[in-house]
C-alpha cells in the first residue's frame, strides 16, 4: 500500500485528517488514516490546472556536485529575505458532538513571500486556524497574520500581514518552470529538530499526478530525493534563483522521497483568488472511466485497429458531461490530443501523463472538445468544465459542522470527516453502508445531502430508539428530504399531532410532536447543548421567516 503524509510540524499530536479515493496515510507524527477507491477504474475528476508546460527537453542540468552546490547557495541567499516560519493555533470540530470543538493545538510550518505583499504556504499549515503568527529569519518578533484565501484541494493558502515593520527588508520570490528530471532543487524551511532556517538539497526524480493527502485530490506533483520533514510544509523548493514548487508531503516509510506542488498549480490557485476574490477550485469532467487495454473489451465496443481511448463507466449528474456523454462511450481524444488505451497522453519529451492533465488545463466554464465513439459512430462533442462537488464531502476544513437536534435525535449530514471519527481504520470500523455510499454514491440534484441519525441522547421520549443510530433518514411525514435544512424545516413546521421519520433499513421513528418539542428543551439543558441547531440552520430559518413576512 502506498502511504503519504503531509509535513506540518506539531507541538502535540492531533487526530487524523480527512481523505478519500486512494489508500493514503496522513502521519503528522503517529496517526494514520486510510482511504479507498473502487478497483479497476480511473476516476477522471481532475482538480489541477497545469498550463504552459513545455513539450521539448531543454537545458537539462546534470546531477553534479557543482550544480547542487550552486542551487543550495542561491537558495540560502534568497531564503534569508523571503522565507518565514508560521505558528498556527487551531481547533478542529468534533463531528460526533458537532456542537463542540476538540482541544486547541499548536503547530508550525513554513512559508515565503510572493508579489503583492502576500505569504504563500500550505493549506494544512493553517487549516481550522484560530490564530496565526509569522516570524521572519533573524527576527525575535512574531507578527499577526490573516488568512486571505485557502485552497484545501490544492493544499495552498495565502496570508497577509498588516504590520509595515514586518515587510522591511522582505523580498518576494519569483516563480520558475516545471523542472525536468535530474535538475537540482533546494528545499528551504523550518523543519523539526531546530528553530532556525534549514536548506536541503536534492534532484527531481519524477513529475506526475499524485494524491494530495490534505485535500484528497489528484494533482500534478514533483517528486524529489530531498528530505522533507515536519515543519517544511509551505517552504519553497528553489531551482536556480526561482521557485520550482512548494514542499507539502513525503512518502511514508521511504527515505528522502518528498513532494512539491509545481508552479502551474500554484499559479492556478493565485489567479483564482485574484480573478474571483476567493478560491473557486479546479474543474472536472465528472467522469469515472476505465482503461481499454484488453483486446476483447476493445472488440466488444467496436474499436478498430489503431483506435485508442477510455471507456465511460459513470457520469456525475451535476456535470455538463451528463448532458453530452453516455455510459459506454469511448473517449478517443480531448481537444484533439489522442488518448491511449491506458488513459495517458503525451507529455514533454518521451514522457506520458494521465489525460486528467488536459482537463486540468481548462479554466472555469471553459469548453473542451471531446471526440467519442458511440454505437460504432464517431462524434465530436463540446463540454463545459466546472468544479464538481461530491455528494458526501471529502473534507470540511475551516467550517463548523451542521446539526439538528429534536427530541434527543441528533441529525447531521454525512461527511467523510464524520466517518473518520471512527478511528485510524475508519474504512473498516465505520458503518459499512454509510461508508460505501460516501465513497461511491453520486448526487441526483443540487444541494443534496445524505442526512443520518448520528446518535440518540437518551430520554423517556426516545426510549427504544437508541439502537437506530447511524441510519440514513429518508422521509419526514412521507416527504423525501433533500438535505439537513429541508429536514429541519419539515420538523419545525409540522402541523400534525405525530412526527414520522422513515429511516434506512425500513426502520421507523414515531413521536408525539408537542411532547417531543417540550422534551427537546429538557434534553438540551441536561447535555449543556446551547442550541438545537447549528448556526447555518439558524440563519436559514431566520431568512425563511424574513422572506415569509415580506
| Tens of pLDDT, residues 273-315 | 998 888 988 888 999 999 999 999 999 999 998 899 999 999 9
What is the length of the chain? Answer: 550
Residues ≥6 apart with Cβ < 8 Å to 65: none
Q: What was the pLDDT predicted at 38?
A: 37
Instruction: Report the pLDDT value the prediction gives residue 257, as an integer from 0 to 100.
Output: 86
Phi then psi for 458, rounded to 5 degrees? -60, 140
Catalytic hit among 49, 107, 198, 233: 233
CA terminus-to-terminus distance, the chain: 58
482 grid coordinates? 433533500
* Residue 508, helix vs strand vs coil: strand
pLDDT digits (tens, 9 = 90+) for 202-247: 899 989 888 898 988 888 999 998 778 888 899 999 998 899 999 9
More confident residue, 54 or 518: 518
**Residue 233 annotated to the active site:** yes
Kindly report, residue by residue over 76-97, the tens digit of the pLDDT: 777 889 999 999 999 999 999 9
Indicate if 155 belongs to the active site: yes
CA 191 from chain center: how many Å? 24
Please state, in angstroms and rounded to a whole number, the distance separating the CA atoms of residues 219 and 205. Answer: 17
Range 321-327 average pLDDT: 95
H-helix segments, 102-246: 123-126, 164-167
Average pLDDT over residues 253-267: 87
Helix, strand, or coil (residue 536): helix
Interatomic CA distance for residues 210 and 230, integer angstroms: 19
Residue 36's pLDDT is 41
262 with 215: CB under 8 angstroms? no
289 close to 313: Cβ distance less than 8 angstroms: yes
For the segment 488-515, what is each residue's pLDDT rounded down to a tens digit? 999 999 999 999 999 999 999 999 999 9
Using the CB atoms, write b or e for 432-467: b if 16+ within 10 Å.
eebbebbbeebbeeeebbbbbbbbbbebebbeebee
Q: Residue 360: which pLDDT band, with cuts at 50, 70 and 90?
A: confident
Q: Domains along the chain?
A: 73-167 (2.40.10.10), 183-276 (2.40.10.10), 287-385 (2.30.42.10), 404-548 (3.20.190.20)
Distance CA(218)–CA(343), nearest Å, equals 15
Q: What is the mean pLDDT of residues 398-412?
A: 95
Work out the pLDDT band at 69, boundaries 50, 70, 90. low
The single residue of 48, 107, 110, 124 carrying the catalytic annotation is 124
Other Cβ atoms within 10 Å of 1 Cβ, number:
9
Instruction: Please tell me which residue, 45 or 67, carries the higher pLDDT value.
Output: 67
Q: What is the mean pLDDT of residues 168-176?
A: 93
What angle is formed at CA 105 by the lines to CA 159 and CA 165, rounded to 5 degrees?
A: 35
C-beta separation of 95 from 415 below 8 A:
yes
For residue range 3-55, list pLDDT tens digits in order: 566 665 543 332 333 333 333 333 333 333 334 433 333 333 333 333 333 33
Instruction: Provide the grid cell at 299.
Output: 472488440
- pLDDT at residue 350, rounded to an integer: 81
Report yes or no: 367 and 384 within 8 Å, Cβ to Cβ. yes
Read off the pLDDT of residues 448-492 as tens digits, 9 standing for 90 and up. Answer: 999 999 999 999 999 999 999 999 999 999 999 999 999 999 999
Residue owning grid cell 530525493: 225
- In angstroms, the CA 297 to CA 379 distance is 20
Of these residues, 21, 49, 129, 155, which one is catalytic?
A: 155
Residue 231 falls in which region: left (phi positive, over 0), alpha (psi -120 to 50) or beta: left
Sequence-separated contacts (24+) of 521-525 with Cβ below 8 Å: 522/459, 523/405, 523/407, 523/408, 523/457, 523/459, 523/461, 524/405
Condensed to tens digits (0 to 9), the pLDDT of residues 20-32 reads 333 333 333 333 3
Which residue carries 513525503 as its cell?
250
At how many degrees (to 10) do helices 535-549 and 484-492 cross? 60
Which pLDDT band, with edges at 50, 70 and 90, does 516 fall under? very high
pLDDT in tens, 525-547: 999 999 999 999 999 888 877 77
**Residues linked to residue 151 through DSSP beta bridges, in sequence order:** 156
Longest CA–CA span in the chain (Å) reads 83
pLDDT value at residue 251: 82
How many CA atoms within 13 Å lie on the side-chain side of 249?
27
Contact 435, 37 (CB under 8 A): no
Question: Count of CB atoms within 10 A of residue 65's CB?
Answer: 9
Amino acid at each position: 500500500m502506498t502511504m503519504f503524509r503531509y509535513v506540518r510540524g506539531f507541538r502535540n499530536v492531533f487526530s487524523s485528517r480527512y481523505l478519500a479515493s486512494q489508500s493514503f496515510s496522513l502521519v503528522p507524527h503517529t496517526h494514520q488514516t486510510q482511504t479507498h477507491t473502487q478497483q479497476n477504474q480511473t476516476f477522471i475528476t481532475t482538480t489541477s490546472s497545469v498550463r504552459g508546460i513545455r513539450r521539448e527537453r531543454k537545458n537539462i542540468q546534470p546531477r553534479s556536485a557543482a550544480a547542487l552546490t550552486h542551487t543550495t547557495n542561491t537558495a540560502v541567499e534568497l531564503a534569508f529575505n523571503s522565507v518565514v516560519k508560521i505558528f498556527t493555533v487551531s481547533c478542529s470540530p468534533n463531528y460526533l458532538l458537532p456542537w463542540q470543538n476538540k482541544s486547541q493545538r499548536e503547530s508550525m510550518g513554513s512559508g515565503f513571500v510572493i508579489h503583492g505583499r502576500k505569504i504563500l504556504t500550505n493549506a494544512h499549515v493553517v487549516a481550522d486556524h484560530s490564530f496565526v503568527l509569522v516570524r521572519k529569519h533573524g527576527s525575535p518578533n512574531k507578527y499577526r497574520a490573516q488568512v486571505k484565501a485557502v485552497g484545501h484541494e490544492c493544499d495552498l493558502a495565502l496570508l497577509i500581514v498588516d504590520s509595515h515593520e514586518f515587510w522591511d527588508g522582505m523580498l518576494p520570490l519569483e516563480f520558475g518552470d516545471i523542472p525536468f528530471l535530474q535538475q537540482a532543487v533546494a528545499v528551504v524551511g523550518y523543519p523539526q529538530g531546530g528553530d532556525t532556517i534549514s536548506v536541503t538539497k536534492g534532484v527531481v526524480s519524477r513529475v506526475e499526478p499524485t494524491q494530495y493527502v490534505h485535500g484528497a485530490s489528484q494533482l500534478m506533483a514533483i517528486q524529489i530525493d530531498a528530505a522533507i520533514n515536519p515543519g517544511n510544509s509551505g517552504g519553497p523548493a528553489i531551482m536556480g534563483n526561482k521557485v520550482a514548487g512548494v514542499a507539502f508531503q513525503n512518502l511514508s516509510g521511504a527515505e528522502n522521497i518528498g513532494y512539491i506542488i509545481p508552479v502551474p498549480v500554484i499559479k492556478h490557485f493565485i489567479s483564482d483568488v485574484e480573478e474571483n476574490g476567493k478560491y473557486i477550485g479546479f474543474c472536472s469532467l465528472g467522469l469515472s472511466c476505465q482503461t481499454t487495454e484488453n483486446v476483447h473489451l476493445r472488440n466488444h465496443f467496436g474499436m478498430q485497429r489503431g483506435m485508442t481511448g477510455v471507456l465511460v463507466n459513470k457520469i456525475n449528474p451535476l456535470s455538463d458531461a451528463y448532458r453530452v456523454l453516455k455510459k459506454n462511450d469511448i473517449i478517443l481524444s480531448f481537444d484533439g490530443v489522442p488518448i491511449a488505451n491506458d488513459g495517458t497522453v503525451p507529455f514533454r519529451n518521451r514522457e506520458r501523463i494521465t489525460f486528467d492533465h488536459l482537463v486540468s488545463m481548462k479554466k472555469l466554464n471553459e469548453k473542451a472538445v471531446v471526440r467519442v465513439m458511440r454505437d460504432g459512430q464517431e462524434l465530436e462533442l463540446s463540454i463545459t468544465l466546472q468544479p464538481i462537488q461530491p455528494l458526501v464531502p471529502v473534507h470540511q476544513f475551516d467550517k463548523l459542522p451542521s446539526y439538528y437536534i429534536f427530541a434527543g435525535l441528533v441529525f447531521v449530514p454525512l461527511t467523510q470527516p464524520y466517518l473518520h471519527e471512527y478511528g485510524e481504520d475508519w474504512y473498516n470500523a465505520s458503518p459499512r453502508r454509510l461508508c460505501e455510499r460516501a465513497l461511491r454514491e453520486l448526487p441526483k440534484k443540487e444541494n443534496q445531502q445524505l442526512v443520518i441519525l448520528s446518535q440518540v441522547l437518551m430520554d423517556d421520549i426516545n426510549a427504544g430508539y437508541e439502537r437506530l443510530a447511524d441510519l440514513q433518514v429518508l422521509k419526514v411525514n412521507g416527504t423525501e428530504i433533500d438535505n439537513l435544512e429541508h429536514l429541519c424545516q419539515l420538523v419545525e413546521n409540522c402541523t400534525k399531532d405525530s412526527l414520522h421519520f422513515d429511516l434506512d433499513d425500513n426502520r421507523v421513528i414515531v413521536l408525539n410532536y408537542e411532547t417531543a418539542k417540550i422534551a427537546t428543551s429538557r434534553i438540551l439543558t441536561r447535555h449543556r447543548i446551547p442550541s438545537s441547531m447549528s448556526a447555518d440552520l439558524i440563519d436559514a430559518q431566520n431568512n425563511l421567516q424574513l422572506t415569509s413576512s415580506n
